[in-house]
Amino acid sequence: MVDQQAELSWTEDRIPVSDRFDDPYFSLENGLAETRHVFLAGNSLPERFRPGFHIAELGFGTGLNMLTAWAAWEGAGMTGPLRFTSFEAYPMAPGDMARALAAFPELGPWAERFLKAWTGARCDLGTLQLDVVQGDARQTLPEWTGRADAWFLDGFSPAKNPELWQEDLLTHVANRTAPGGTVATYTAAGFVRRGLEAAGFAVTRVQGYGRKRHMTQGVLP
Ligand SMILES: C[S@@+](CC[C@H](N)C(=O)[O-])C[C@H]1O[C@@H](n2cnc3c(N)ncnc32)[C@H](O)[C@@H]1O
């Protein structure tokens, strides 16, 4: 069990910043648009959605990525559950999640349904089966027996949170990816790209969001 909670400060624009990692939880420009560009389009979603689709994520944070994916899933007319597993070492208090998510009124209906049901580990909301695995992903991911069709790699910046980007963790990501499955991340850091390649992904550097020139996509052959 984890007894460490996220410790936050807030910018004037109401963006949460981690005190531990000295890094914002999402883009200072437009978190929702960045999530759509990097994690949805980066994994060819919603086009690849099909019944039983499973997304996994490193770093649950505010739940913004999950809510964006869930809204896209329902928007694509999917009626069964989207499976979403996220690995999180320092869970955010629900009140802080609510405060952060209030910046995205477009996601309001999904945030409300999620926050009503959220007790901190698992919830089943009909079209969403969410599992947040608490603990350091370096310990919890190797023990995970699931298999994801798409991964959202969303640690804090590799310079500030290098443990979430190291090659052996990326190898565990590859081991827990379905054949033909994908990864996407906002970073184009060379050591992350090389780590994904060493893990077995075919890696491409593509256009990033906003001020970030590049981001990274990978496919498991
Ligand atoms: C950029 S934030 C994620 C933002 C999130 N995806 C969202 O939609 O709000 C990075 C997250 O990684 C988590 N984290 C950092 N190191 C970790 C580790 N070793 N294991 C698991 N989670 C970690 C942080 O606590 C933080 O919530």
Cα of 120 to ligand 1 centre, how many Å? 15
Helix (H/G/I), strand (E/B), else coil: 71:
helix
- Beta strands, E only, the chain: 8-10, 16-18, 23-24, 54-58, 82-88, 122-124, 128-134, 148-153, 177-185, 202-207, 214-219
| pLDDT (mean) for 165-171 | 98
Any idea how long the chain is?
Answer: 221
pLDDT on residue 212: 86
Mutation choice for ligand 1 from 60, 140, 169, 186, CB with most ligand atoms inside 8 A:
60
pLDDT on residue 2: 47
Beta bridge mates, 86: 57, 132
Q: pLDDT digit string (tens) for 8-26? A: 999 988 899 999 999 999 9
Q: How many contiguous H segments (helices) and E segments (strands) does the chain have?
A: 7, 11
Q: pLDDT digit string (tens) for 30-43? A: 899 999 999 999 99
